[in-house]
Amino acid sequence: MNKFWTVLAFTVVNKFRTKSFIVTSLIIAVVLTIGLNAPYFIGKFQTDEAASVGVIEGSSELVPLLEQHVNDQEQTELVLVKVEDQGSLEENERVLKERIASGEMTGYLLFDETEELAFPTMTYKSEKTMDFGTVSQLQQALQVIKVQVVAPTLGLTTEQVSQINAPVVVNKVQISSGEGAGNVGDAGKTEGEIAVATGMVYVLVIVLFIGIMVSGQLIASEITAEKSSRVMEILVTSVSPLKQMFGKIFGMFIVGISQLLLLGAVVLVNLMLPHNQSMLTDMNLDLGSVGFLLIFYALLFYLMGFFLYAAMFAAVGSIVSRTEDLGQAVMPVTFLSMIGYFIAIFGISAPDSSLITVTSFIPFFSPFIMFLRVGLTDPAVWEVWLSIGLLAATIFVMGWLAAKIYRTGVLMYGKRPSLKELRRAMRAYKI
């Protein structure tokens, strides 16, 4: 057992000392810091000046109404700049473009000719390709004006118009239709809590996938490198292959968890900054609304998913003699994790679909997909623990199989052995 801890400690210390690990961790921490604070810094560079929109005086009966509506707003992002009619559309546009070039306005609004009593269509022209905010402001203002224009023809009073313009409020709450039947999800989630849970599921699915891919590749490449340099022949004389494999897996797990804790601390510190707290409050998001069960299952599925794929990567790395062949050898394992990842990512928009329900019980996909169901739906307890049981059984079987493959494969050199050769060699060893 002491040799297991020796391998584990060597793996952890050796990885912590590598420049690539330190530099990668620092780069990711800096990128996360920049990304989390980007909205704040972008807002500092943006001006609060309202968009200046040019209109031709007398071009439409809506111009005075639009001007009055803009002036009546306490806070508005629009300013109307009236330009004298030049007598023709071509001359009007020439003058308006000159005003844009001089910086007096950002764009101009033209009213198209329409049939009598019909509300005219309009065209907004601007040099900006992404001026959607100004167009949205104009649409909202003109929609209010349209109601004001049409209301008298329908005999509507001012109070009735106000009722029509009042926004419709629909509050969304997630409930459980199986209350009392033993469900895992938190019933009664508000819209803000649903948004927080969705964000957490999205982030943790990505973290699990990256953790599996990076750690698995490191485990496989380290084993293959030791084998190709013939160091493995010396190691097996002092440490049994099983202690080597599990020591490397647990050591790499500690390295991965340490890196995640570091990056998690960076994210938490940045989210606690006053400007980010204010932004979360404005968006009605409360990170404290994340339930204990969601955190518990996130950790559980992360641990189980990591050890399942780590054992598979270790087994594949042990049968490869050259690092050049490793990429092709681990491709099937990589595809398995990618399938589960993509099903989960695309399933966030439909977490109660049949595909999500069925694949949540497939052990190679359940670390991603059952966690998705726990976070976004309300699965029964027996469903969650059946998935966990199947996953645990698969980890045991894959660990046993990986141990036999590892014990056999680390001393097999030359071309990658076929399944028949590997099976024949495995029969010669007993765990």
Q: What is the pLDDT of residues 45-78, one digit of tens each?
A: 655 566 788 888 877 778 888 888 877 776 667 7
The mean pLDDT of the chain is 77
Strand 51-56 relative to strand 107-111, pairing = parallel
How big is the CA angle at 98 (ends 92 and 100), to the nearest 5 degrees? 105
Q: What is the pLDDT of residue 421?
A: 52
Q: Do residues 196 and 286 touch, judged by C-beta distance below 8 A?
A: yes
Q: What is the pLDDT of residue 180?
A: 46
pLDDT-based confidence at residue 181 (cuts at 50, 70, 90): very low
Pairwise CA distance, residues 27 & 326, whole Å: 27
E strand or H helix that includes residue 126: strand 122-126
- What does the domain layout of the chain look like in residue ranges? 51-165, 189-427
CB-count burial class (<10 Å; 0-12, 13-18, 19+) for 426 = middle
3-state helix, strand, coil in the chain (%, to 5): 70, 5, 25
Q: What is the pLDDT of residues 122-164, one digit of tens each?
A: 888 887 766 677 888 888 888 878 877 777 777 777 777 777 7
- For residue 239 the two structure tokens come to 């440490």
Q: Is 176 left (phi over 0), alpha (psi -120 to 50) or beta?
A: beta
Kindly state the average pLDDT of the residues 344-371. Answer: 89
Mention every residue, 6+ apart, whose C-beta is less than 8 A from residue 224: 317, 318, 320, 321, 322, 323, 326
Cα dihedral 139/140/142/147 (nearest 10):
130
Q: What is the pLDDT of residues 93-126, one digit of tens each?
A: 888 888 888 888 888 888 876 655 567 778 888 8
User: What SS3 class is residue 346?
Assistant: helix
pLDDT-based confidence at residue 431 (cuts at 50, 70, 90): very low
Q: What is the pLDDT of residues 294-325, one digit of tens each?
A: 788 888 998 899 889 988 888 887 777 677 77
CATH class of the domain at 51-165: alpha beta
Q: What is the pLDDT of residue 118?
A: 62
Q: What is the pTM for the complete model shown?
A: 0.68
Q: Do residues 297 and 384 touch, judged by C-beta distance below 8 A?
A: yes
At 349, the amino acid letter reads S
Pairwise CA distance, residues 353 & 342, whole Å: 15
Q: Which of 92-101, 181-190, 281-290 has the lowest mean pLDDT?
A: 181-190
